[in-house]
Amino acid sequence: MKNSPWLVIGAGAIGLFWACKLEKLGYKVHLVYRSESPGKRITLESFTDEGGTQEVISSKHKVKIFLAKELTESYDKVLLCTKSFDLADAFNQVSNYITPDADVACLCNGLGAQEILQESIQNSQTLWAGTTSEGVLKVDVNHIKHTGLGDTFFGEWTPSDATKVFPIESLTVKNIRQRMLEKLAVNAVINPITAIFNIQNGDLLNEEYKPLIKATLDELADIFTHPKFCFIQESQHLTSDNLRNRVNTIAQLTRLNRSSMHEDLRLRRQTENNYISGFLINNSPITLPIQQLLYDGVEFEEQREEVKKKLLSIT
Ligand SMILES: NC(=O)C1=CN([C@@H]2O[C@H](COP(=O)(O)OP(=O)(O)OC[C@H]3O[C@@H](n4cnc5c(N)ncnc54)[C@H](OP(=O)(O)O)[C@@H]3O)[C@@H](O)[C@H]2O)C=CC1
Ligand SMILES: CC(C)(CO)C(=O)C(=O)O
């Protein structure tokens, strides 16, 4: 199994991180980039807590890099590490180089893109959806910093009768949809609010945001526990209290970080809004006035000041 290389698509923070991780696990890695070549060596900086003192360790990892049009081999293990809005195109551009029995994995935030990707994948191939709580920052084209320790899980997006295991067995879980909904819930609170108010994740714990956070969590709990919600089997445990614990914990653990959506707005890049608040609005059996305000505040710069006032006037 380890003889055939992994094809990793996307040389962003997560793609470079997984290229290093797979190389450390003993796999060969072929990495596809789109705009900027990362070169053949990637530097990964991570923290250790050896004997109570925090140290930064830097390691170098060798990968082979390609533009999609330069590929010639066929791959049976593929890991897509793009943002959700690029996922289907990124797969389609390499689909001729993927074996009919391949394991195809994706690791993007939000929901909606996985279902579109499933439609492009052959029945004989397996789509593994993944979710990660690792924090990674790309500081240069070939240099990443591991900013937060976390876990990563993969599960079959459309579960089959056969008990399949992910090529890295220890990362396999049975109900990936449940884990993805839990992550979606956290992202639907932290990402748009930090982006709209231009604050770090930890600032959400400040007194001035308490009524807004409470109202946002209550609204999310109403969808996730609604009998007509399409993922009710996987989401019914997400009550307001359960969500509050998750959001507070992540806001605390990542208190000095900017959320990915905050960073995208700051750098005027496309956000994953359509796959977070947008997904919830489009799939909710009830109207979602707060998610709609959050969606609009992220999407439409000219409405942002007005949206902020409305969000802060929630009691
Ligand atoms: N970074 C983090 O700590 C975390 C990220 N995530 C999620 O992981 C996903 C990836 O995040 P992240 O790595 O930070 O995002 P980045 O924007 O840093 O990286 C995405 C990369 O995908 C590349 N890409 C897009 N389309 C293609 C294509 N067709 N062919 C080749 N490469 C392509 C982009 O290339 P180009 O440079 O040309 O734009 C970019 O380098 C997101 O959904 C994010 O929400 C989840 C948890 C933590
Ligand atoms: C968990 C969180 C909110 C950490 O910042 C994240 O996933 C993101 O920024 O997209």
Is the ipTM above a cut-off of 0.95?
A: yes
CATH node for 6-174: 3.40.50.720
Nearest to 107 by CA among 83, 126, 139, 123: 83
Arithmetic mean of pLDDT over the chain: 95
Ligand nearest to the CA of 200: 2
179-312, superfamily in CATH? Answer: N-(1-d-carboxylethyl)-l-norvaline Dehydrogenase; domain 2 (1.10.1040.10)
Give residue 83 CA to ligand 1 midpoint distance, Å.
Answer: 5
Give residue 144 CA to ligand 2 midpoint distance, Å.
Answer: 17
Ligand nearest to the CA of 275: 1
Read off the tokens for 145. Answer: 């910093």
Q: Please, where in the chain does CATH 3.40.50.720 lie? A: 6-174
pLDDT value, residue 66: 98
Give the C-alpha separation, 67 to 93, whole Å: 10
Least confident of 150-164, 213-227, 228-242: 150-164
- pLDDT band at residue 56, thresholds of 50, 70 and 90? confident
- Counting ligand 2 atoms within 8 A of each CB, the residue from 108, 255, 259, 276 with the most, and so the one to mutate, is 259
pLDDT value, residue 52: 65
- pLDDT band at residue 22, thresholds of 50, 70 and 90? very high
Residue located nearest, by CA, to atom 6 of ligand 2: 259
CA atoms within 13 A on the CB side of 212: 26
Q: Please, where in the chain does CATH 1.10.1040.10 lie? A: 179-312
Read off the tokens for 212. Answer: 């807004």
pTM: 0.95
